[in-house]
Amino acid sequence: MSDQVLDVFDAAQLIPGFTAPELPREQPDRATLDAAEHKTRFWTSTVSGPIVVGSDVHRHEMCRMFRETFNPYRPSMLEWPRLEPEALKRIVELPIWDIAVQTEGRARLRMATYAATLEDADLRDAVALNAWEEHRHKEVLSRLVKAYGIELASEPPYVHPKDTEWAYLVTGLSECIDSFFAFGLFEVARRSGLFPPELIDTFEPVMQEECRHILLFANWLAWHRSRLSWWRRLRFELKVAAVWVFLGWERIGLSRTMDAEGNEHKQDSKFTMNGANSVTDINISASEVMRLCLAENDRRFSGYDTRLLRPETMPKLVRFAMRFMRDKAPSMS
Ligand SMILES: [Fe+2]
Ligand SMILES: [Fe+2]
């Protein structure tokens, strides 16, 4: 595959002590794939009794969860099914490909630079693996784009963040917002039957990986804030609030990105919030989509130890918003 499709990102070089995971060289058989899939979705700590938020045990177990639920798929072995012209057109016309590729490109660097600042080896390794997985997502997307002949704008340079904690918070909280909606949209797409099941299956590991990512992030956030002195905590909470305001602003407007040639591209960064009509031909109401997002969110987290915290802001906000929504479209089964 050409250099234009696969760019270089060496997490091991950016993060002291991190070694990239070894992936199988041969295509695994069905039983091995099923076992890896199961391991990714279900994890229970061997620690008995409560896991106190902010404790060393909490930190240790969240990192262990992340390590032990790793899915060793190799992007080059993923299969891209031949699409009927209708389905191909639908995929090519989704207004997300540039922003998706660039989001993964930024996420990997932001996570890697934050990981490099962490003193605790366990936590550093978990965030480093997360960065490595973001790079793998980018590779998956790049291969999809290539397989289906989707034209991408040239990517802007990815810049090392100055405030690594801010950048990590922006990335982590963005993933909490986008994954919540993506879980629901993915289910809308699956039920619609507009996309071949093989394509849905190819993307499934990426979706579950995002679930693991925000599980790690939510636990890191709770662990980190509980260990700060009152004045550091106050400063940190102001920073978190500023990140939410920034992300809200970003999602209200159309985001603008510059490509490598300096051309401006407008992209729909709200797609994960209102893209249902692009992935189904059924007229589906906003409240139906939200119900699916909530149900999928619960389902995807259901296999992990309940003593680990879940991201709560999006489900709470959406449950609140649903009180003011009325169904206007037939239900989707
Ligand atoms: Fe990702
Ligand atoms: Fe992620």
| Two tokens, residue 181 | 């909606």
Ligand at shortest distance from the CA of 175: 2
User: What is the distance in A from the centroid of ligand 2 to the CA of 211?
Assistant: 8
For residue 116, the CA-to-ligand 1 centroid distance in Å is 19
Give the three-state DSSP class for 92: helix
DSSP 3-state assignment of 270? coil
Tell me if 266 sits within 8 A of 254, measured CB to CB: yes
CA of 248 to the centre of ligand 2 (A): 19
Report the separation in Å between the CA atom of 213 and the middle of ligand 1, taken as the mean of its atom positions: 8
CATH class of segment(s) 51-322 = mainly alpha
| Rounded distance from Cα 281 to ligand 2 centre (Å) | 29
Nearest ligand to the C-alpha of residue 212?
2
257 — phi, psi (to 5°)?
Answer: -130, 155
- Listed in sequence order, the residues at least 6 apart from 2 whose beta carbon sits closer than 8 Å to its beta carbon are none
pLDDT given at position 248: 87
pLDDT at 95: 84
Which residues, in sequence order, are CB contacts of 304 under 8 Å at separation 6+? 42, 43, 44, 65, 69, 215
* Nearest-10 Cα torsion for 296, 135, 270, 283: -50
pLDDT attached to residue 254 = 45
pLDDT beneath 70: ranges in the chain: 1-6, 253-275, 327-333
**Placement of tokens 């890697």 in the chain:** 112
- How many angstroms does the Cα of residue 311 sit away from the middle of ligand 2? 13
Helix runs in the chain, H state only: 11-14, 30-41, 56-68, 85-93, 97-115, 121-147, 164-192, 197-226, 230-252, 271-274, 276-279, 286-301, 313-322
pLDDT digits (tens, 9 = 90+) for 25-70: 888 889 999 999 999 999 999 999 999 999 999 999 999 999 999 9
- Cα-to-centroid distance, 331 and ligand 1 (Å): 30
Identify whether the C-beta of residue 77 lies closer than 8 Å to the C-beta of residue 238: no
Q: Which ligand number lies closest to the CA of residue 203?
A: 1
Q: In the prediction, which pLDDT does 4 show?
A: 45
Residue with tokens 């262990």: 64
Q: Residue 216 Cα, ligand 1 centroid: separation in angstroms?
A: 13
pLDDT of residue 126: 98
pTM listed for this prediction: 0.90
